Amino acid sequence: MRGGRSMGKGLRRSIATALMLAALAALAAVHPASPLRQYLPSLPFETHRARKAVRNAKPRLAGELEKKGLHLGAPLFIRIYKTSAPGAADQGRLEAWLRARNGKYVLLRAYPVCARSGHLGPKLKEGDGQSPEGFYAVGPGRMNPRSRYHLSFNLGFPNAHDRANGWTGSFLMVHGKCVSIGCYAMTDPVIEDIWTLMRAAFREGQKRVPVHIFPFPMSDENLERWMKEHPGWRWAGFWRELQEGWRMFEQTRTPPAVSTRAGHYVFRTPR
């Protein structure tokens, strides 16, 4: 009987704790800035592996954050290029931008993409081996701390634009382990840095991290060079849409608000 009473008390205590944490989580979701967030033990996507990754990454990020007057937890914007310039043979780069106190985004660090697959141009269908191009947004629910590729997050392909154009695919990720079949693969230390920046931004209330993916920097010079070398390029119109979103960020240093209308991207300056 004594053991039964002890187990009963333990079960009731566990249930009460679970209910309390659920209530706190619901309140924190409705009020992201609520000080009650500090009492939550961790975000749902955290594991021992993810926490260890954060411990590894924080010292690597600290110096650059201090140098540029940025803080861990500021809103994050990610920009990916498949290659550094038209005709270049590299695998591209991933840029991590953080919002500064003046509201403009500052480049914290640019990381080389370790591996990607396919060629320049959008992903069209499941199994084509293509890495996507376009405008995506990643929330906490798309983070995977148990990935076979160390850590990963799902880009959310196909987005509304992709679906409107009949493009199909699933589980297009940014992850570690430097191996790609349609994903953007980084080294493990790099994905740990990116994970840490995303985790901190989510903890301070950012709902989604915008991830914009381009074939290369979309300057007029680069586009003209590509079109000249590839007359009749199939994706000329699509790339002009990508360029509009790219240019808005270059001019304002603020990620544009992106929507889809009749299968085309539409951009506006965020409020």
Q: Among 114, 150, 161, 175, which one carries the catalytic annotation?
A: 175
Instruction: List, for residues 40-57, the tens digit of each pLDDT value.
Output: 444 556 799 999 999 999
Mean pLDDT over all residues of the chain? 88
Percent of the chain whose pLDDT exceeds 90? 80
**DSSP labels for 154-221?**
E---S-HHHHHTT------EEESTT--SSSEE--HHHHHHHHHHHHHHHHTT---EEEEEESS---HH
> How is the chain split into domains, by residue range?
2-39, 48-268
107-129 burial, b at 16+ Cβ within 10 Å, e below that, comes to ebbebebbbbbbebbbbeeeeee
> Quick check: is 71 catalytic?
no
In the predicted model, what is the mean pLDDT of residues 67-77? 98
Instruction: List, for residues 223-242, the tens digit of each pLDDT value.
Output: 999 999 999 999 999 999 99
What's the rounded Cα separation, in Å, for the pair 216 and 243?
Answer: 10
Give the model's confidence band at 182: pLDDT under 50 very low, under 70 low, under 90 confident, else very high: confident
pTM: 0.84
What is the token pair recorded at 102? 């003046």
In the predicted model, what is the mean pLDDT of residues 29-45? 45
Amino acid at 234: R
Give the model's confidence band at 199: pLDDT under 50 very low, under 70 low, under 90 confident, else very high: very high
- For strand 257-261 and strand 264-268, is the pairing parallel, antiparallel, or unpaired? antiparallel
Give the model's confidence band at 141: pLDDT under 50 very low, under 70 low, under 90 confident, else very high: very high
Percent of the chain whose pLDDT exceeds 70? 83
CB 94 within 8 A of CB 186: yes
Give the model's confidence band at 72: pLDDT under 50 very low, under 70 low, under 90 confident, else very high: very high
pLDDT at 255 over 50: yes
Q: Among 183, 212, 230, 264, which one carries the catalytic annotation?
A: 183
> Quick check: is 178 catalytic?
no
